[in-house]
Structure 1
Amino acid sequence: MTELKSLQALFLSHNLLTGEIPARVGNLTYLQVIDLSHNALSGSIPLTIVGCFQLLALVLNNNNLSGEIQPELDALDSLKILDISNNRISGEIPLTLAGCKSLEVVDFGSNNLSGNINDAITKWLNLKYISLSRNKFTGNLPSWLFSFQAIQMMDLSGNKFSGFIPDGNLNVSVDFNNASYNETRLPLESLEIQISVAVVGINELTFSYQLPSTVGIDLSDNLLRGEIPDTMFGLRGLEYLNLSYNSLDGEIPNLEKMWSLRALDLSHNALSGEIPQNISNLQDLAVLNLSFNSFSGSVPKNESYKRFPGAFAGNPHLCLEGEGCDDDAKQLAIPGRPFHETDDEGPILAWVFCLSAVVSCYSSLMVLFCSSKTRRYIFHTKGSCCVCK
């Protein structure tokens, strides 16, 4: 295979391949797409892969790859898609990756990466999707974190980030701030990020990488503290926000501008004050989890709030409107499963939302969590279309 010098695309995903990626893959200098995902490959990513200098997509997720991200990968300056998620990659993100200036989709989720987020990421000006979830990153979130104009989804969940949520640059992202109300909006699971690159040969082909996702931010399961920035709750285009399992305090800022919000999880923090009355006005909100905080006051008895059973569990000073806390504490303390949980396939963000309700005579639960991360590759050749897995 490595003797096929003119090979432009290599698709071997969802097989039973074992062993290491051959070093001779670097001899395939015409390669533009490599997909070896969902196999049992081991060893490190060969340094010789930089010989594929025309590479646009490198998809190696769901293997047993180890080692570190090599600094020399910056030579792949045309790379748009880099997915090494669900492996055993360790070490830090090298500063030299700043040279990969064309990156649009970066998924490093579910590895053993560590260290701080460095400034190399700031050079990825076309970034649309980034997942660093379920690693061992530490340190404060950088002030430039939300400075990407094209960003649609950012998932930093399941690490050990500390400090405060930066409040600067939240107004930069076009998608975070663009609320286009549509009565016939697609369900959450239909939203996708699609990156297309051209593979040119006898016929012109289009490689489409579709990543189930939505416009959102996931900072859950970290060590963040302090108040939630007011600017974060002014993002009119944001559809998904998960800040659960941190140590955030203060009150929930005004939500009246979050017209597009469809899923909100602030559970397992130290938030206080009253539940904002305008939550019930968010017509697209399908999932709400404010459980296990220190909220006080009353929850209105109206149909809007009945959409969110279990959402207010674990707030002992929160009562139903017009009734005493002592009488209703048990009812409001119904435990709800946090929707940030994922299955073994990958982080929330690469994902599709699933909503389920379980009703019994004592409780009702509403759950939102990620399904497995799914990719499809579609080729269009002069009007025809075929799907390869």
Structure 2
Amino acid sequence: MAKLILSIVLVIVSCCFALLASGQLTYPSEVDALNGIWRKLQDPMKNLRNWTKNDPCVSNWTGVICANQDDGYLHVQELRMLNLNLSGNLAPEIAQLSNLTILNFMWNNITGSIPKEIGNIKSLQFLLLSGNQFSGSLADELGYLPKLVMFQVDLNQISGSLPKSFANLVSCRHFHMNNNSISGQIPPELYTMPHLMHFLLDNNNLSGYLPPQFSQMPNLKILQLDNNNFGGTEIPPSYGNMPMLVKLSLRNCSLQGAIPDFSSIATFRYLDLSHNQLTGGIPMNRFSDNITTIDLSYNLLNGSIPSNFSGLSHLQKLSLENNSLSGDVPFTIWRNVNFTAKARLIIDFQNNSLSNISGSIDPPSNVTIRLQGNPVCTFANQLNLVQFCRIALGNDEFVPATGSSTNSTDSCLHQSCPVSEKYEYVLESPYPCFCAAPLGVTLRLRSPTISDFPPYIYPYRVFITHSLGLDLYQLHVESFIWQTGPRLLLYLKFFPQYSNNTYKFNDSEVHRIEDMIATFSIPSNDTFGPYELLGFTPGLYSSVYLQPSKSGISKGALIGIILGAMSLAGAISSAITILFYIRSTKSGHDISKKQSIAKIPIRTDSVKDFSFEELEAATSGFNNTTQVGQGGYGKVYRGILANGAVVAIKRAQQGSMQGQIEFITEIELLSRVHHRNLVSLVGYCIEQGEQMLVYEFMPNGSLRDLLSDRCRHTLSFPMRLRIALGSAKGILYLHTEADPPIIHRDIKANNILLDFKFTPKVSDFGISRLAPVPDAEGASAHVSTVVKGTPGYLDPEYFLTHKLTEKSDVYSLGIVFLELLTGMLPISHGRNIVREVYGACQSGLMFSIIDRSMGSYSSESIKKFMALALKCCQDDPKERPTMLEVVRELENLCSLLPESDMIPTESDASISGVSGVGSSQLYFGRNSPYPMNTEILGSELVSGVIPTIKPR
């Protein structure tokens, strides 16, 4: 209510805005421009579009308007509207803000084209429009901004070509336009941008050739063009002579030809040329000692692996898999390297033609070597290579992890910290048991030049605290997660300096830190690359604060303010009186509502009853930057609870909320469901008209994410089997051991989530329906109801009978199995996955539709897995196996893999109804007679393996 009162008061103050505008306090065209901008953006932020003229900055953490005074006139200098859920269009009136230096509308929902009129704001230094829905092409006029330092429009829907006029951006250092639909040739003229440091255009539709002129750019450090299509052109040899190059990333760009020699670049740290058609040998000259990452995988390289990879003291990742390299396996790469405790080195030589080994491989524990798929693994036992010839599970280079602290607070008394849950101990403080209120900041490193972050956590803290003028203990890296790109998401906590009686920052210090981060005052760093701000978590600090004016105001201005305030005093007083009356009448209703909730106790102690304020604080006020998903139920947010636990919070939208009794009944049901392959319910919230469920957080996202085009190369065949088995076990538990039994109804790849060890966990059984008990005559149990299932996964029998049974879940899981095998979507461009797979199998072309990115596999295992998947997808439910039979068959499949592929999958050896399953069988591998990499023709398929299915 306090926020509402403040908002209304500010709206009333806006009534005198026009009066003040006619005096000496503002510049009318700029006022008109702002009003026009707000109208186009649906005016969602009335508390930010009004400010008194003696306080030229107003902010609510993510939204900031700043202006300066010049001879009594007000000129807008900064518009920072970060993550305010703005929609609508950006109006051309923006050009009337002729003194604007920062234009930041990142992470909103703004549509339409980027106004060409922005090109008239000659003072503009930061043009930041990332994470919106801008479309159309980029106007030539945007290339005539002489002071522009950062041009950032990534993660939009921009199309068309890059204008040649951008070569006139003589001050530009950061050019970030990744994740759009920009097409055509990169203009060679851009090489004349003398100060350009970071050129990020990955994930677009660029074509043509790579401009060789870029090698003449004197300050270019990062060139990142992944996932474009340069049509078989070569990498210019001159790129090996770029004087300041730190990172070159050209992954999946349809490039051919030879790899340039980069040995002369002393600053070089990161090279990714994977997933191209590069040929020839690997250059023999030594890379810079600063190199951390070399990824040349999935090319057509031949010859031997050179010795120039040895002794690179900062190397974290060397990926040469899926080439045609031959000769010896070099075992000196890690020699003469002093590894720190947190350092790791991954050497991936899988799927080449390496046949010899000289000497013994005895790497330290923090070195991982992968040789599977090479001839040398034929003699793995004799050469003591078994541990190196196993199939790798998952993408362990980028396993999400959390930062750690060195000190302990076990000896500190809880009473020594204030009672408020927003205070916490400063774990790395040199002062024992010092507790304070942190300021949370969410950042993302856009293009880091490392592959593994733990060894760099301490240097990162030193770098950030030095840049912000803080002591080292004032910054804690709460957690970090690698995202597609790869980009690095960081959750940071800043603490105030130690004081005997101060537990939080003062407002001026908060504003200073926020302002330095938001205006990119932290200098660029070659290791961590450019960053972007995603949001703040203010903690105990006020949600709206004003920056004091840095200059006085004229007498005329002061008189105008006083007169305006006097004329409105009565109106404001009346408005506040009315609001308090409304509040007092409403409070009685709110109290009665909360009391009615309290009268219906939830009979469980295994989940927590969270307050709305707790979940609001955990998500920074349900900030868009914390949103990780959305479905029919509502939005899903990533939250950090007061105790540091990371959770997923599902917030029901108005139309999907249940009745109170039904919601409580569902919570009691979910609280009794416990299985390692089901996402666990942590708590709930049912106050202030909200219905929220709090679950454990799954850092590796959904199976659908991993099966996407850019990620699925991380999923090996054993990994896919492990996910299939774990998912089936979770659903079997719902069918047979949940009390009462549950039919899921919406099994799909998006509802199979993966924890930090890639253990699959089935989610969203909260929308499930209880499985009815069979009647006295043993009739088949079913649910007859409106289905919330997903097209492509839904049991076809339902459309005839309107009945859902356990076999309906079997059908949906069968679709997931087909996705695991093929990487295809269930329905795409009119193609049905069941029909496509069935047709390929009937034509003897089963192996042509297998996802090529899964690496090596046993042909026999693939055939049996395919047969199981198609049997689950039979039209007639009677022809489908039970979930128990599915689990048994998957365990048998796991036992067919070679012993070198033995990977622990499940710790719970007992499954309801499964007899004779010992813990030793819950590992992949059991002396399979089938060799890996077996190629088999369609005509050699075993008769009867693929069931007969009527194509739909």
Q: Matched residues in 1 for 2:268 and 2:450: separation? A: 16
Deviations 1:198-219 (A, max 9, x none): xxxxxxxxxxxxxxxxx21101
Q: Matched residues in 2 for 1:346 and 1:111: separation? A: 19
Residue aligning to 1:217: 223
Q: Matched residues in 2 for 1:222 and 1:113: separation? A: 15
- The answer to whether the 8 Å contact 1:153/1:217 transfers is yes
Question: Does the alignment pair 1:229 with 2:229?
Answer: no
Question: Does the alignment pair 1:263 with 2:270?
Answer: yes
Listed as ranges, the matches of 1:239-388 within 5 Å are 239-279=246-286, 281-300=287-306, 303-304=310-311, 307=315, 311-321=319-329, 324=355, 326-327=375-376, 349=446, 351-353=447-449, 355-356=451-452, 369-372=486-489, 386-388=512-514
- The answer to whether the 8 Å contact 1:267/1:291 transfers is yes
- How big is the shift at 1:37? 0.9
Q: Matched residues in 1 for 2:448 and 2:228: separation? A: 22
Listed as ranges, the matches of 1:1-389 within 5 Å are 1-4=48-51, 6=53, 8-9=56-57, 11-14=59-62, 30-173=75-218, 175-176=219-220, 215-224=221-230, 225-279=232-286, 281-300=287-306, 303-304=310-311, 307=315, 311-321=319-329, 324=355, 326-327=375-376, 349=446, 351-353=447-449, 355-356=451-452, 369-372=486-489, 386-388=512-514, 389=536
Judging changes above 3 Å, is the alpha-carbon distance between structure 1 residues 125 and 312 closer, same or farther for their aligned structure 2 residues? same
Judging changes above 3 Å, is the alpha-carbon distance between structure 1 residues 9 and 354 closer, same or farther for their aligned structure 2 residues? farther
Q: Matched residues in 2 for 1:334 and 1:67: separation? A: 45
- How big is the shift at 1:347? 8.8
Residue aligning to 1:378: none
- How big is the shift at 1:309? 5.1
3-state SS of 1:72 partner: helix
Residue aligning to 1:186: none
- The answer to whether the 8 Å contact 2:277/2:299 transfers is yes
Q: Matched residues in 2 for 1:77 and 1:68: separation? A: 20
Q: Matched residues in 2 for 1:332 and 1:250: separation? A: 32
- How big is the shift at 1:120? 2.5
- How big is the shift at 1:49? 2.1
3-state SS of 2:271 partner: strand
Residue aligning to 1:194: none
Judging changes above 3 Å, is the alpha-carbon distance between structure 1 residues 355 and 62 closer, same or farther for their aligned structure 2 residues? same
Deviations 1:6-39 (A, max 9, x none): 4654544547x9xxx9xxxxxx951111111122
Would you tell me which structure has more helix in proportion to its own residues? Answer: 2
Deviations 1:127-147 (A, max 9, x none): 100011000011111111322
3-state SS of 1:295 partner: strand
Q: Percent identity?
A: 21
3-state SS of 2:196 partner: coil
Q: Matched residues in 2 for 1:354 and 1:82: separation? A: 27
3-state SS of 2:262 partner: coil
Would you tell me which structure has more strand in proportion to its own residues? Answer: 1
Residue aligning to 2:773: none
Judging changes above 3 Å, is the alpha-carbon distance between structure 1 residues 116 and 337 closer, same or farther for their aligned structure 2 residues? farther
Deviations 1:61-120 (A, max 9, x none): 111111111122222111010000011000011112233222110001000000011123
- The answer to whether the 8 Å contact 1:8/1:33 transfers is no
Q: Matched residues in 1 for 2:191 and 2:278: separation? A: 23
Judging changes above 3 Å, is the alpha-carbon distance between structure 1 residues 271 and 304 closer, same or farther for their aligned structure 2 residues? farther
- The answer to whether the 8 Å contact 1:313/1:332 transfers is no
Q: Matched residues in 2 for 1:120 and 1:311: separation? A: 39
Amino acid at match of 2:375: D
3-state SS of 2:489 partner: coil
Q: Matched residues in 2 for 1:339 and 1:71: separation? A: 43
3-state SS of 2:213 partner: coil
Amino acid at match of 1:75: N
Amino acid at match of 1:327: V
Q: Matched residues in 1 for 2:302 and 2:92: separation? A: 57
Judging changes above 3 Å, is the alpha-carbon distance between structure 1 residues 336 and 371 closer, same or farther for their aligned structure 2 residues? same
Amino acid at match of 2:255: L
Amino acid at match of 1:172: M
3-state SS of 1:278 partner: coil
Amino acid at match of 1:370: R
- How big is the shift at 1:53? 1.1
- How big is the shift at 1:327? 2.1
3-state SS of 1:217 partner: strand
Amino acid at match of 2:257: G
- The answer to whether the 8 Å contact 1:313/1:336 transfers is no
- How big is the shift at 1:254? 1.5
Larger Rg: 2
Deviates more, 1:222-231 or 1:327-336: 327-336
- The answer to whether the 8 Å contact 2:196/2:217 transfers is no
Q: Matched residues in 1 for 2:295 and 2:392: separation? A: 12
- How big is the shift at 1:385? 8.3
Q: Matched residues in 2 for 1:318 and 1:336: separation? A: 25
- How big is the shift at 1:227? 1.0
Residue aligning to 1:210: none
Q: Matched residues in 2 for 1:168 and 1:318: separation? A: 35
Amino acid at match of 1:217: L
* Structure 1 portions without partners, runs of 5+: 22-27, 177-214, 359-366, 376-381
3-state SS of 2:189 partner: coil
- How big is the shift at 1:321? 4.3
Q: Matched residues in 1 for 2:393 and 2:279: separation? A: 19
Q: Matched residues in 2 for 1:136 and 1:347: separation? A: 22
Deviations 1:168-197 (A, max 9, x none): 252132x23xxxxxxxxxxxxxxxxxxxxx
Q: Matched residues in 1 for 2:229 and 2:444: separation? A: 18
Give the alignment's TM-score, normalised by structure 2: 0.31
- The answer to whether the 8 Å contact 2:51/2:58 transfers is no
Amino acid at match of 1:257: S
Q: Matched residues in 1 for 2:443 and 2:159: separation? A: 18
- The answer to whether the 8 Å contact 2:256/2:277 transfers is yes
Give the alignment's TM-score, normalised by structure 1: 0.72
Q: Matched residues in 1 for 2:204 and 2:50: separation? A: 42
- The answer to whether the 8 Å contact 2:317/2:451 transfers is no
- The answer to whether the 8 Å contact 2:242/2:265 transfers is yes
3-state SS of 1:48 partner: helix
Q: Matched residues in 1 for 2:59 and 2:257: separation? A: 50
Q: Matched residue pairs, number?
A: 322
3-state SS of 1:299 partner: coil
Q: Matched residues in 2 for 1:332 and 1:317: separation? A: 19
Q: Matched residues in 2 for 1:272 and 1:333: separation? A: 26
Judging changes above 3 Å, is the alpha-carbon distance between structure 1 residues 277 and 230 closer, same or farther for their aligned structure 2 residues? same
